[in-house]
Structure 1
Amino acid sequence: GVCGGGRGRGGKNVGGSGLSKSRLYPQAGGAAEIQELASKRVDIQKKRFYLDVKQSSRGRFLKIAEVWIGRGRQDNIRKSKLTLSLSVAAELKDCLGDFIEHYAHLGLKGHRQEHGHSKEQVSVGSEEHPHSVLKTDYIERDNRKYYLDLKENQRGRFLRIRQTMMRGTGMIGYFGHSLGQEQTIVLPAQGMIEFRDALVQLIEDYGEGDIEERRGGDDDPLELPEGTSFRVDNKRFYFDVGSNKYGIFLKVSEVRPPYRNTITVPFKAWTRFGENFIKYEEEMRKICNSHKEKRMDGRKASGEEQECLD
Structure 2
Amino acid sequence: MVELKMADGDSGSERGGSSGGGGGFQHFQRDQETQELASKRLDIQNKRFYLDVKQNSKGRFIKIAEVGAGGSKSRLTLSLSVAAEFRDYLGDFIEHYAQLGPSTPEQIAQATAGEDGGPRRALKSEFLVRENRKYYLDLKENQRGRFLRIRQTVNRGPGFGVGGPVGGMLSGQTIALPAQGLIEFRDALAKLIDDYGGDDEELTGGTAAGGFSELPEGTSIMVDSKR
Query: TM-score, normalised on structure 1?
Result: 0.48
Q: What amino acid does structure 2 have at the position aligned with 1:160? A: R
- Aligned sequence identity (%): 62
Within 2, Cα distance between the matches of 1:150 and 1:168?
30
Do the aligned partners of 1:63 and 1:83 also contact (CA within 8 Å) in 2? yes
CA pair 13-161 structure 1, distance change in 2 beyond 3 A: closer
Cα distance in 2 for partners of 1:180, 1:65 equals: 20
1:244-271 Cα offsets, whole Å, 9 max, x none, are: xxxxxxxxxxxxxxxxxxxxxxxxxxxx
| 2:77 alignment partner AA | T
Q: Which residue of 2 aligns with 1:28?
A: 25
Contact 1:129-1:154 at 8 Å conserved across structures: no
Alignment of 1:182 onto 2:142: no
For 2:134, the aligned partner's letter is K
What is the rounded CA distance, in whole Å, between the counterparts of 2:97 and 2:127 in structure 1?
17
Q: Which runs of 5+ in 2 are unaligned?
A: 15-23, 109-114, 159-168, 201-227
Deviations 1:56-99 (A, max 9, x none): 11111111110111xxxxxx312111111111111000000000
1:130 aligns with 2:118: yes
Q: Could you say if the C-alpha distance between residues 80 and 13 of structure 1 is closer, same or farther in structure 2, counting changes exceeding 3 Å?
A: closer
2:122 is paired with a residue of what secondary structure? strand
Asked whether the 8 Å contact 1:138–1:145 carries over to 2, the reply is yes
| Counterpart position of 2:156 | 167
Structure 2 CA distance for aligned equivalents of residues 64 and 110 of structure 1: 32
**Structure 1: 5+ residue runs without aligned partners?**
1-11, 70-75, 115-126, 170-178, 211-310
1:154 — aligned with what?
143
SS of the counterpart of 1:201?
A: helix
CA shift in 2, pair 1:180/1:55, >3 Å: farther
- Residue in 1 that maps onto 2:4: 15
Aligned CA distance change for structure 1 residues 20 and 90 (closer, same or farther; 3 Å): farther
Question: For 1:109 and 1:57, how far apart are their aligned partners in 2?
Answer: 48
1:260 is matched with: none
Q: CA deviation at 1:154?
A: 1.5
1:207 positional shift: 1.1
Report how many residues are paired.
Answer: 167
What displacement does 1:17 show?
2.9
Which TM-score applies when normalising by structure 2? Answer: 0.65
Partner amino acid, structure 2, of 1:150: L
Counterpart AA for 2:56: S
Greater length-normalized contact order (CA 8 Å, ≥ 6 residues apart): 2
The alpha-carbon distance between structure 1 residues 79 and 207, as it changes in their structure 2 partners (threshold 3 A), is: same
**How far is the alpha carbon of 1:20 from its aligned partner?**
7.3
CA distance in 2, matches of 1:142, 1:86: 14
Cα shift readout 1:265-302 (whole Å, capped 9, x = no counterpart): xxxxxxxxxxxxxxxxxxxxxxxxxxxxxxxxxxxxxx
Q: Is 1:48–1:67's contact at 8 Å kept on the other side of the alignment?
A: yes
Counterparts of 1:137-148 in structure 2 under 5 Å?
Answer: 137-148=126-137
Cα distance in 1 between the residues matched to 2:193 and 2:102:
32
Q: Deviation at 1:140?
A: 1.5
Larger gyration radius, structure 1 or structure 2: 1
Q: Which residue of 2 aligns with 1:78?
A: 72
1:50 and 2:30 are equivalent in the alignment: no
Shift of 1:128: 5.0
Retained in 2: the 8 A contact 1:66–1:79? yes
Is contact 1:20–1:39 with CA below 8 Å preserved after alignment?
no
RMSD over aligned Cα atoms: 3.1
Alignment of 1:1-310 (within 5 A): 15-17=4-6, 28-29=25-26, 30-31=29-30, 33-69=33-69, 76-109=70-103, 128-131=116-119, 132-168=121-157, 181-209=171-199
Deviation at 1:129, TM superposition (A): 2.2
User: Aligned in 2, Cα 1:28/1:209: closer, same or farther, shift over 3 Å?
Assistant: farther
Q: CA deviation at 1:13?
A: 8.7
Question: Counterpart of 1:182 in structure 2: which amino acid?
Answer: G
Report if the CA contact (8 A) 1:149-1:160 is conserved.
yes
Residue matched to 1:221 = none
